[in-house]
């Protein structure tokens, strides 16, 4: 019988990415399921002052509801010229509409007068697993450095991917294949480290 692990998010883009990363290491004896698969329709109010505390809150919320090992993350885009903004507010940036396109266009408008050499940024991801049998959390953090373009490029990914440029490969995150992105992204780094920490517990 497969071990069920809950992916603690209601964001479909994030869920797909988390599962694609974890499946590479988890093997065939693990099945990743979503809250909706087991009838969980409510979501936690995000609480916490940093990525890790927010991710922990989400993992515990879903883990206590389901009784399953629950894996969550919280991530954000930090623009160095803005002192790390939007950071933990990346998903709730004050854009006109709640769409990915509206959010990155709002950010580009804020940055329109910032020259190329000062458009450095990084993605940060805190990944957290709640182990209900022990009532404990395990976590890991990954970072991905790059910069913000003046206009979007690419059709893949989600969120701010079309404007996040990786200089060493000359592409935006939205121009990468899924496997390319998972290999070098903040989320890929965080979840591979997390899996190494929890696989013995499973």
* Residues that are catalytic: 74
CA angle 110, 50, 9 (to 5 degrees): 90
What's the rounded Cα separation, in Å, for the pair 125 and 49? 14
What's the rounded Cα separation, in Å, for the pair 22 and 131? 16
What's the rounded Cα separation, in Å, for the pair 10 and 100? 15
**Buried (b) or exposed (e) across 21-31, using 16+ Cβ within 10 A?**
bbeeebeeebe
């Amino acid at each position: 019988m497969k071990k069920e692990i809950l992916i603690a998010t209601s964001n479909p883009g994030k869920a797909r990415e988390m599962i694609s990363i974890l499946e590479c290491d988890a093997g065939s004896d693990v099945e990743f399921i979503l809250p909706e698969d087991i009838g969980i329709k409510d979501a936690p109010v995000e609480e916490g002052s940093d990525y890790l505390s927010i991710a922990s809150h989400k993992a515990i919320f879903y883990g206590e509801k389901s009784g399953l090992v629950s894996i969550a993350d919280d991530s954000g885009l930090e623009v160095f010229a803005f002192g790390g903004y939007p950071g933990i507010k990346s998903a709730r940036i004050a854009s006109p509409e709640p769409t990915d396109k509206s959010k990155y266009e709002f950010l580009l408008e804020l940055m329109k007068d910032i020259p190329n050499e000062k458009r450095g940024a990084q993605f940060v991801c805190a990944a957290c697993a709640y182990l209900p049998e022990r009532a404990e959390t395990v976590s890991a953090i990954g970072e991905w450095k790059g910069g913000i373009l003046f206009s979007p490029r690419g059709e893949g990914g989600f969120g701010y991917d079309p404007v996040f440029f990786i200089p060493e490969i000359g592409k935006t995150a939205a121009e990468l294949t899924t496997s390319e992105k998972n290999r070098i992204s903040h989320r890929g780094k965080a979840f591979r480290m997390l899996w190494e920490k929890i696989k013995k517990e499973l």
